[in-house]
Structure 1
Amino acid sequence: MSPLANPRLRLPILVLVAIAARALTFGNPVVHVDEEFYFVTAQRMWQGALPFVDIWDRKPVGLFLLYALPARLGVPAGIWAYQLLALVSAIVTAWGIAKLTERLGFAAGATAGGIAYLLWLDLLGGQGGQAPVFYNLLMLAAAALVLRPRRATHGIVAMTLVGIALQIKYSVVFEGITFGLWLLADTWRRQRRPLRLIAYAAALVVAALLPTVLAATYYAAVGQWDAFAYANFLSILHRNPDPLTDLASNLGQLVLIVSPPVALAIVALLRGGASRPRTFVALWLAGAILGVAIFRPWFDHYALPILLPACAAAAGMLGRPGWQRWRTPALLLTAAFAGQIVLIVQRIGRGDGKQLDAVAHAIGRGPGCLYVYSGSDMLYSATGRCLMSRYLVPSHLIRAREAGATGVDQDTEIRRILAARPAVVVVRPFYSGERPAAHALVAAAVARNYRLTASLPMGNEIIRVYHRAR
C-alpha cells in the first residue's frame, strides 16, 4: 500500500509536509507586510491602543485579537509563537480536508488532498499567518456541521463559526451565505414548514452576525461607533482602483496558481457522479471563487479560501489508480519545489530578521518617536518607539489607491506628522503606486531638518534612516 493511501500515516505525513513546506519562514519577522501589521497592532493593544481609533485599518478586530497572545511575547518570541499557531492551524485544516474528502467518496486521495492544501499555501502567500490560514479552519468545521444537520442547533453552531470567521476577515461572507442557503434548502427538503423555515433563517442570520454585532456594540459603548463603521464597512467603498495593468497582472497570477487544484476539483466532481456532499462542495467552491472575484486588487493570498473546497474535491483525481502511480506524486513534488522557490525569492526580496535587526539598531530605541514613512511596520516593535500617527501602515498615506478612503487627507496627515518632529524617519526607495507628492513632502523635510545616519539593505531595497538634526 502506498503511504499516501494509508490512513494511519496521514497525520504524521501532514505534519512533516507542513513543517518542511514552511521551515524557511520560521522566525522571520518580515514574512509578509500584512502579518507585520497584525503583530504590531496586537502588541500596541496591550499598551492600550484601540483598533480603528488609535491604529487605523479595515481588518476586523478579531484578527488583531487572534494575534494578541503571540504579540504579548514581543520580538522574537512572539514571531515564533504566531507562526507556530499558523502551522498548527494549517495542519489541522489539512487533516480536516482529508476527512471531508472521505465523505465525498474520494478516500483514496484523502491524504494527497491534504498535502495539496499545505503545498499550495506557499504558492499563494499563505506560508505564514495570513488571515485565511486561521479562518479556513473555522469554515471547515462549519462545513462539517452543515453536512450533517441532524438538529437545528448544528446549523446554528455552524453559522456561529462563520460569524467568528467574519471577524477575522469579512470576505468570508459569500461562503457564509452559501452555507446558510444550503441549510435552509436542506431544512425545507425535510420539513416543508414555511413558518419554521423563516424562524430558522432568522436564527442563522443572528448567529452569523452576532460576533460582528458584539464588536460594534463595544465600539458604540465607548463612543467610537463612527470610527468602527467607517473603517469596517464604508472606507472600502471609497478606495480607488489600481491601474488596469496591475489588476490584470494580479488576477492573471492568481488564476494561474490556483487553476490546477480548481481544474482537478471540477473534473473530479463531474466524473464522480452526484451526491449530497459533492453538490455541497461544488456550491462551496463557487461561493469561494465569487468571494475572491468581487474583492480587488486580487493579491495572491486572496485565493486561499478557494483551496479548501478545491483540494477536497481534487482528491477525487489525485486518488485515482492511474494518477497515484506517478501523476499525483509528480504534481505534489512540482508544487513543493515551486513553493520553496517562491519562499526563497520572497525572502531575498523582502529581507529577514538579521536585516531588520540592523535597521532597528541604526534607528535605536529612543528617546523620541519613529515615523516609518515607507518600510516595515515591524520596526515599531523592534525599536519600541512611539507612533506618530494612527495610520501605521505606510500605504494608507502614500498610495494613490487610498486617496480619500481613510478618513483623512493624506498630505495633510503627512505634514502634521512631520510638523510634530519625529526623532527618526525611515524611507524606502520610491515604488510603483506611491504618490510623488507624498514622497516630495518627506524628501524636503528630511533634507531640511534631518541627517542621514544609515543606508541599509532590506531585501532587494536600501532603507534610509534619518535622525533629526539637533
Structure 2
Amino acid sequence: MGFRIAGTRPSGERGIFASTATLAILFTLIAVALKFTTFGDTNRSADDLFYFLVGQRMHEGLLPYVDVWDRKPLGLFLIYYLIAGVSTSVLAYQIVACIFVAATAVVIARIVCEWTGWQGGLFAGLAYLVIAVIFEGAGGNAPDFYNLLIACAAFLIVREMDALAQGTVRWPIWTAMALCGLAITIKQTTLFESIFFGLYVLVTLHRAGRPLIAIARVAATCAAIGALPTLAIAACYWQLGHWREFWHAMVISNLAKAAIGGGGFRLTGILLRLAVLLPLALWGLFGAGADRRTRRFLAGWLIAALVGFLAVPNFFVHYTLPLLVPLCVAAGLVLGRHMLRLAMIVALVLYASLWYHPPSRSWSRASAEAMDKTARLIRQHDPGGGLLAFDAPSYLYALSGKRFLSPLVFPHHLSSAIENDVSHLPTHAAIDAILTQGPGVVVMARDPLIQPVNVYSRERVSAYARANCRLVEVVTLRDAGARVPFEIWGDCLQNLPSTDKGTNGGRG
C-alpha cells in the first residue's frame, strides 16, 4: 500500500504474531477458550438451535419458508445445513461459530496491518474476540457468519485502494462484491454495508477521472454480482411454485413485525458495553494521524453498519455484532501506534470481563441432561400424535425425533403476540390446525416465558392439554441462566390412530 498511518512502523516489520497462520491459531484458541463452557448445551440459545434444527431437517427434504417458517434468508440455513451434514451434535455448529469469529478477527488484523504495524492488527483482532462474546458472539448467531464475509470484502477493497485511485478495477473488487452478495443471503441488513462498499468504489473511480460511462458499467457489474445470489435463490422458489412464501418471509414479514418494548433500556446496555471500545475507535478514526482516505473509508463503513443496526430498532445485544468490525479496525489504528497500547488493550479486556459471565461446565451439562430427559419423556408418552412444543425449546423436536405439526416451529411464532399473523399463515388458524391433528405430547412453559403473550394461542393449547392429556411431569430446563419449569402433558388422545410416520412432516 502507498500510505501508512503517521508515526507507525511499516507493516513489513515483522513480529511473532505477524503471520496470518499464527494469528489464526491464536484467535481460534482464544475463541474456543471463551466459549468452551457452553459447548454441548442443547438449550443455550433459541435462535441458533432453531437454525441447526432447520439445517438437520433440510436433509430430510424440508424446505424453509414452506415446511418451516422464518424470516432469515436462506444462506443462513444453508450454512447450518452444511454443518448438519457433518454432524448433528450441537458441538458442530458451536465450534464452527468459534472458527468463523476467529477468522473474522484475523481479517480485522490484516486490515489494520495495511495501515499500521502488526501490533495494531493483533490488538484489534483480540479486541474483536473479547468484545464479541459480551454481545453473544461466537455462539452461532447470524453475524458470526456474515461478519467474516463483510470483513473480507472490506479487506479486498482496502488492498485495492491504490489501484482504484488510479482508475483501475481489478478482480478483488468483483470478489468483494460477490462476498457482499453472499452476506445479504445470510442477513438482509448487510445490504447497507454492501451498498457503501460499492459506492466507495464508484466515488473513487470518479475522483480518478474515469468517464461516467465507464463508472456506470462498473456500477452495473457491482450491482449484478451483489444481487446474483439472492436472485438465484428467489428464482429457485419461483420455479418450485413457492414465490409467495419466499417473498412474504423476506420482505413483508420484516416490515410487518412490530417493535418490541424496552428498546431504550437495551440500547443503554449496548452503549455501556461499548464504553471502552467506542472511544478508542473514535480516537483512531479522528485523532490517530489517519489520512483522509483512511478516515473516509472507515467513517463510511461505520455509518453503513450503524444504519443496518438502526434498521431493526429492537436493539438486541447481538444486533451490535456488525458494528464491532469497523469499530475494532478503527481502534486498531490507536492500538498499533500509541505508546500506551498495551495498557489500552488490557483495560479493554478487563472491562469486557465485567460483562462476560459464561455458565459453568456443570451448568451446561445439567442443561443438556434436562433436555435429554424431556426428550425421553416425550418419546415415552406420545401415543402417536406427535409433539407440540409451545413456548418451549424448538430443539426438542430434534432430540425427540418428532415431526413438525406446523411450519410455525420457532417458539415466538406461535406464542408471542408480536408475531401474531406476521407469517403467511394466520396464527390462530395455525394453532387450531395443530390441535385438530391431535398432538400426543404438549410441552409448554408453566408460566408464560415469551412476552407479550398470544392469549388466544396459550388458552387454546392449555385447554387442549387439560382436556385430552395427562400431566406427566414438570421438568426444570435451564434457559438464559435461569431455571424454568416446563409442563409435559402426555398420553393425549390415547385412541387416536398413529400419524407420526416421519420426522419432518415436510417434503420428504
Q: Report whether the alignment pairs 1:285 with 2:302.
A: yes
- 1:352-372 deviation per Cα after TM superposition (whole angstroms, max 9, x unaligned): 211211111111175431111
Q: Report whether the alignment pairs 1:426 with 2:443.
A: yes
- 1:370-393 deviation per Cα after TM superposition (whole angstroms, max 9, x unaligned): 111111111011011111100111
Q: Report whether the alignment pairs 1:33 with 2:43.
A: no
- For 1:466, the equivalent position in structure 2 comes to 489
User: Is the contact made by 2:284 and 2:333 (CA closer than 8 Å) also made in structure 1?
Assistant: yes
Q: TM-score, with normalisation over the residues of structure 2?
A: 0.86
User: Is the contact made by 1:139 and 1:162 (CA closer than 8 Å) also made in structure 2?
Assistant: yes
More displaced stretch, 143-152 vs 16-25: 143-152
- For 1:248, the equivalent position in structure 2 comes to 264
- For 2:251, the equivalent position in structure 1 comes to 233
- For 2:500, the equivalent position in structure 1 comes to none
Distance 1:390 1:451, change over 3 A: same
Between the aligned partners of 2:369 and 2:135, the Cα distance in structure 1 is: 25
- What is the correspondence of 1:26-425 to structure 2 with a 5 Å cutoff? 26-73=39-86, 75-76=88-89, 79-105=90-116, 107-149=118-160, 150=163, 151-243=169-261, 246-273=262-289, 274-336=291-353, 338-339=355-356, 341=357, 343-344=358-359, 352-364=367-379, 367-425=384-442
Q: Report whether the alignment pairs 1:442 with 2:481.
A: no
More displaced stretch, 53-62 vs 329-338: 329-338
Shift of 1:106: 5.5
- 1:411-463 deviation per Cα after TM superposition (whole angstroms, max 9, x unaligned): 22112111110111110121332222322111111111111112111112011
Distance 1:318 1:385, change over 3 A: same
* Richer in helix (by share): 1
More displaced stretch, 323-332 vs 3-12: 3-12
Where 1:389 maps in the other structure, the secondary structure is coil
Between the aligned partners of 2:368 and 2:361, the Cα distance in structure 1 is: 13
Unaligned runs of 5+ in 1: none
User: Is the contact made by 1:43 and 1:74 (CA closer than 8 Å) also made in structure 2?
Assistant: no
- 1:243-282 deviation per Cα after TM superposition (whole angstroms, max 9, x unaligned): 3xx2222222223223432221111111123242342122
Q: Which of the two has higher C-alpha Rg? A: 2
User: Is the contact made by 1:355 and 1:457 (CA closer than 8 Å) also made in structure 2?
Assistant: yes
Shift of 1:350: 12
Shift of 1:30: 2.2
Shift of 1:330: 2.9
Between the aligned partners of 1:319 and 1:353, the Cα distance in structure 2 is: 43
The amino acid that maps onto 2:149 is L
More displaced stretch, 11-20 vs 458-467: 11-20
State percent identity of aligned pairs: 31
- 1:183-207 deviation per Cα after TM superposition (whole angstroms, max 9, x unaligned): 1111112233011111110111111
- 1:105-157 deviation per Cα after TM superposition (whole angstroms, max 9, x unaligned): 25432211111111112100113111111111111111112223343432222
User: Is the contact made by 1:103 and 1:277 (CA closer than 8 Å) also made in structure 2?
Assistant: no
Between the aligned partners of 2:171 and 2:327, the Cα distance in structure 1 is: 27
Shift of 1:81: 1.5
CA RMSD of aligned residues (A): 2.3
User: Is the contact made by 2:142 and 2:186 (CA closer than 8 Å) also made in structure 1?
Assistant: yes
Distance 1:457 1:64, change over 3 A: same
The amino acid that maps onto 2:367 is D
User: Is the contact made by 1:240 and 1:400 (CA closer than 8 Å) also made in structure 2?
Assistant: no
Between the aligned partners of 2:210 and 2:361, the Cα distance in structure 1 is: 54
- For 1:23, the equivalent position in structure 2 comes to 36
User: Is the contact made by 1:235 and 1:405 (CA closer than 8 Å) also made in structure 2?
Assistant: yes
More displaced stretch, 115-124 vs 356-365: 356-365
Shift of 1:4: 9.3
Q: Report whether the alignment pairs 1:454 with 2:470.
A: no
The amino acid that maps onto 2:239 is A
- For 2:9, the equivalent position in structure 1 comes to none
User: Is the contact made by 1:104 and 1:278 (CA closer than 8 Å) also made in structure 2?
Assistant: no
Report how many residues are paired. Answer: 462
Between the aligned partners of 2:88 and 2:399, the Cα distance in structure 1 is: 7
Shift of 1:308: 0.7
User: Is the contact made by 1:352 and 1:458 (CA closer than 8 Å) also made in structure 2?
Assistant: yes
The amino acid that maps onto 1:369 is G
The amino acid that maps onto 1:465 is I
More displaced stretch, 428-437 vs 352-361: 428-437
User: Is the contact made by 2:438 and 2:493 (CA closer than 8 Å) also made in structure 1?
Assistant: no
User: Is the contact made by 2:38 and 2:364 (CA closer than 8 Å) also made in structure 1?
Assistant: no
User: Is the contact made by 2:276 and 2:351 (CA closer than 8 Å) also made in structure 1?
Assistant: no
User: Is the contact made by 1:117 and 1:307 (CA closer than 8 Å) also made in structure 2?
Assistant: yes
User: Is the contact made by 1:397 and 1:410 (CA closer than 8 Å) also made in structure 2?
Assistant: yes
Where 2:359 maps in the other structure, the secondary structure is helix
Between the aligned partners of 1:410 and 1:455, the Cα distance in structure 2 is: 27
